[in-house]
Amino acid sequence: MIIARIGAGWYAVSFDGGLFCPAFTLFYYALLMPVPAFIQPPYPWFLTQWQQFVEQVRADRLPHALLLKGQMGIGATALAEAMAQFLLCRSPADMQSCGQCRGCELLSSSTHPDFLHIKPEEKSSIVKVAQVRTLGQFVANTAQQGGRKVIVLEPAEAMNHESANALLKNLEEPAGDTVFILVGYQVARVLPTIRSRTAQISLISPSESESLAWLERNQVSNAAELLNASGGTPLTAMQWFEGNTLEQYQEIAERIEQASMGQRSIVDAAKSLASHDLVNVMTLLQQWLQSAIRVNSAEQSDSLPLVQQLATLPAQALYQLLDSTQQRLAQLYAGSNPNKVLACEELLLLLQAARTAQAVPARR
């Protein structure tokens, strides 16, 4: 049995997935266990992956490099950080970090000398080669706390060719007890040589019922509306709720829908979309296209009008649009700095063309 935080409450979770009542958990926890500084696993839908990870660590079978791959907005980075916490804890017990040892204290204060977190710098969408090159000395040095050294890098697809090659050198010749944990949302964009040198862990997105239950436990009042608007990603929904930014994302969806249906000019809609962060616009469109594909294939429904409208397109058109959107996201992550209005116009024209092609009857 492990203790896990689910929403605002503590629960005892058995190894077969059974959930015990929170009242018992709090009593058991208060008497027998100190409250940890980090929650592990960070979200209930990662319980299976967490158990497998801990078993590998205990059996000394953990690969030196992991690649966590999943949808953005479900907590992959939090899982990577929890793994790093467990690996650097000096006294882990019951599948949990202790939260009290020197290693846990240093991580809590963001001063652990054997932990390195690499991600795009502020106002940048790429992991620069200079950031990755710092790995050389870090990996070569002996662990100052006498245990492992852990590197978290995210998102993996944000590395350009130079950055990826610099990382590859360290992956090929890891020094000492070093563990790399990469997080990827578009793993197909990661160099094949990097993918082949990592153990890939697929993170399945939580079901709608799991996501809604988690959001409601965290007092999110309009959980269903937020979850649908965010493409079924509970952490994105929570972020929008806390930032009170749902209206902003609804505006993006409305502009895309209006332009693709011919209800608003492409130029006007593109100018409106360009007032938002381009990566956010592309990421949202990617999520909505993925939701539309699910609705299209399973003949389900979705409360977001844009998703319902997209889902009426042929599956082939949806996949082509998704591929185009992901290509543009990859270019942005690689450091491309396009004219925002023109970039939005291009995507809207593709959407409108797909809609027009659907309306034209095939020639016999």
The residue ranges of DSSP E strands in the chain, in sequence order, are 2-6, 9-13, 65-70, 115-118, 149-153, 178-184, 199-203
* Residue 29: pLDDT band with limits 50, 70, 90: very low
% of the chain beyond a pLDDT of 90: 49
For residue range 61-77, list pLDDT tens digits in order: 999 999 999 999 999 99
pLDDT of residue 186: 86
- Domain ranges in the chain are 1-33, 37-203, 245-359
Judged against a pLDDT cut of 50, whether residue 13 lies above it is answered with: no
Gyration radius of the chain's alpha carbons: 22
Judged against a pLDDT cut of 70, whether residue 27 lies above it is answered with: no
Cα–Cα distance, 219 to 99 (Å, whole number): 27
Listed range (193-197, 218-222, 247-251) with the worst mean pLDDT:
247-251
Judged against a pLDDT cut of 70, whether residue 216 lies above it is answered with: yes
Q: Are 78 and 43 in contact (CB under 8 A)?
A: yes
Q: Which residues pair with 10 in a beta bridge?
A: 5
Q: Locate all alpha helices (DSSP H) within 100-184, ordered by sequence.
A: 102-108, 129-133, 135-140, 161-172
Q: Which residue has the higher pLDDT, 264 or 297?
A: 264
- Torsion angle (degrees, nearest 10) of CA 144, 148, 153, 154: -120
* Residue 300: pLDDT band with limits 50, 70, 90: low
For residue range 88-126, list pLDDT tens digits in order: 999 998 889 988 999 999 999 999 999 999 999 877 778
Give the CATH architecture of domain 245-359. Answer: Up-down Bundle (1.20)
Pick the CATH number of 37-203 from 1.10.10.410, 3.40.50.300, 3.30.420.40, 3.10.110.10: 3.40.50.300
* Residue 28: pLDDT band with limits 50, 70, 90: very low
pLDDT of residue 355: 84
- Taking alpha carbons only, the member of 361, 351, 358, 273 closest to residue 314 is 358
- Taking alpha carbons only, the member of 276, 279, 259 closest to residue 267 is 259
pLDDT of residue 287: 85
pLDDT of residue 359: 62
pLDDT of residue 164: 92
